[in-house]
């Protein structure tokens, strides 16, 4: 199906964009903060994406694309770093509005420390695999900064939100990696990954997504001046 990747980008942002104008929780009022929290990680991840694409660590199937490229990246991949962060940050804010209590606040440091040790170990054991090492170690470094330097209290809310985000993540990323379609939209060089897949999704993608969305949310909260206060949006 030509244009499949573009349709996935659009479908991911349509629902959050429509409900951004819900009167009781007007997410559109956060746009003044959102553009910065999307732009900075977007630039970082697009540069990473370009490098990995040129290095043959992953690539794209032209059949599912519009054919428009910026450098080595299809325009759909650029839009991915706008549409996905918007929908995920919207989900995070919506859940903060719907779930008043920060259920994981008392356990957030334990979860973060566990992830730091787990991801650091995986990364160091797989330094010969670029996607695995870069993803696991980068996520661990960000978690170290958040846990031991910044020390915000919203991480419990982030972890709950990310569990909800994983459901649409598995659907969208599943399609991109070849689930329910004839070929992959995005292919991966298995020599640069652990070779472990959930369905068709490389396990690294879970933490790649976590790194991206955590950067978006941390910058958003920093812009909003939130650190140690619990809140409902």
> Domain of 45?
4-19+26-224
Structural domain includes residue 149: yes
C-alpha 137/C-alpha 116 separation (Å) is 9
Structural domain includes residue 231: no
Residue whose C-alpha is closest to residue 123's, from 137, 112, 113: 137
Structural domain includes residue 233: no
Give the per-residue pLDDT at 228.
Answer: 56
Structural domain includes residue 232: no
Structural domain includes residue 71: yes
Give the per-residue pLDDT at 1.
Answer: 81
C-alpha 36/C-alpha 139 separation (Å) is 20
Give the per-residue pLDDT at 156.
Answer: 97
Structural domain includes residue 70: yes
Structural domain includes residue 72: yes
State the total domains in the chain. 1
Question: What φ, ψ does residue 76 adopt, rounded to 5°?
Answer: -65, -35
Give the per-residue pLDDT at 227.
Answer: 58
Per-residue pLDDT of the chain (233 residues; tens, 9 = 90+): 889 999 999 999 999 999 999 999 999 999 999 999 999 999 999 999 999 999 999 999 999 999 999 999 999 999 999 999 999 999 999 999 999 999 999 999 999 999 999 999 999 999 999 999 999 999 999 999 999 999 999 999 999 999 999 999 999 999 999 999 999 999 999 999 999 999 999 999 999 999 999 999 999 999 998 655 455 44
Structural domain includes residue 229: no
Give the per-residue pLDDT at 53.
Answer: 98
């Amino acid at each position: 199906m030509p244009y499949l990747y573009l349709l996935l980008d659009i479908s991911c942002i349509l629902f959050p964009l429509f409900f951004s104008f819900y009167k009781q929780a007007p997410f559109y009022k956060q746009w003044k903060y959102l553009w910065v929290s999307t732009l900075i990680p977007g630039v970082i991840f697009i540069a990473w994406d370009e490098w990995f694409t040129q290095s043959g660590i992953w690539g794209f199937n032209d059949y599912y694309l519009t054919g428009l490229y910026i450098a080595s990246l299809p325009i759909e991949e650029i839009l991915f770093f706008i549409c996905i962060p918007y929908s995920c940050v919207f989900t995070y804010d919506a859940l903060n509005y719907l779930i008043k209590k920060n259920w994981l606040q008392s356990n957030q440091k334990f979860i973060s420390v566990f992830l730091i040790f787990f991801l650091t170990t995986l990364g160091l054991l797989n330094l010969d695999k670029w996607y695995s090492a870069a993803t696991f170690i980068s996520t661990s470094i960000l978690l170290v900064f958040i846990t031991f330097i910044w020390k915000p209290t919203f991480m419990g809310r982030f972890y709950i939100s990310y569990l909800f985000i994983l459901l649409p993540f598995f659907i969208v990323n599943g399609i991109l990696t070849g689930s329910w379609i004839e070929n992959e939209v995005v292919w991966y060089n298995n020599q640069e990954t652990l070779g472990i897949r959930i369905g068709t999704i490389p396990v690294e993608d879970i933490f790649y997504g976590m790194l991206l969305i955590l950067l978006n949310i941390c910058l958003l909260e920093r812009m909003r001046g939130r650190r140690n206060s619990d809140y409902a949006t």
